[in-house]
């Protein structure tokens, strides 16, 4: 599902215009990004939680030249699925793709 399809489906289910839904989704993502930039965990009950984690710097060795390189630390976004949806996903049958 892409963003257009999501907006169309939410619009249909909520009885709002697609423009209103698109605006709501834009504001929602803006708020989430701003919160994550402040190193805040976003937890949605039942759905899951988004958290920004810092990966430590590490040393890599080039297998050909045996040269050591330092990979600098970086921030990564992690998502942990909530138990409600984890249970629902476990009960789904595997689709052949």
The answer to whether residue 4 sits within a structural domain is yes
**CA–CA distance, 10 with 21 (Å, rounded to integer):** 7
The answer to whether residue 6 sits within a structural domain is yes
19 lies in which domain range?
1-39
The answer to whether residue 69 sits within a structural domain is no
H or E element that contains 10: helix 3-14
- Write down the mean pLDDT value for the chain: 89
Strand arrangement of the beta sheet that strand 48-55 belongs to: 42-44, 48-55, 74-81
The answer to whether residue 26 sits within a structural domain is yes
pTM over 0.75: no
pLDDT digits over 23-47, tens only?
Answer: 999 999 999 999 988 888 999 988 8
| Number of independent structural domains in the chain | 1
Rg (CA), the chain: 20
pLDDT digits over 80-97, tens only?
Answer: 999 888 888 887 766 655
């Amino acid at each position: 599902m892409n963003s257009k399809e999501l907006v169309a489906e939410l619009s249909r289910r909520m009885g709002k215009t697609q423009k209103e839904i698109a605006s709501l989704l834009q504001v929602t993502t803006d708020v989430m990004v701003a919160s994550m930039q402040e190193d805040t965990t976003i937890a949605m009950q039942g759905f899951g939680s988004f958290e920004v984690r810092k990966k430590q710097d590490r040393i890599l060795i080039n297998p050909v030249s045996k040269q050591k390189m330092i990979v600098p630390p970086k921030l990564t976004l992690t998502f942990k699925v909530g138990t409600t949806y984890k249970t629902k996903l476990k009960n789904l049958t595997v689709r052949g793709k």
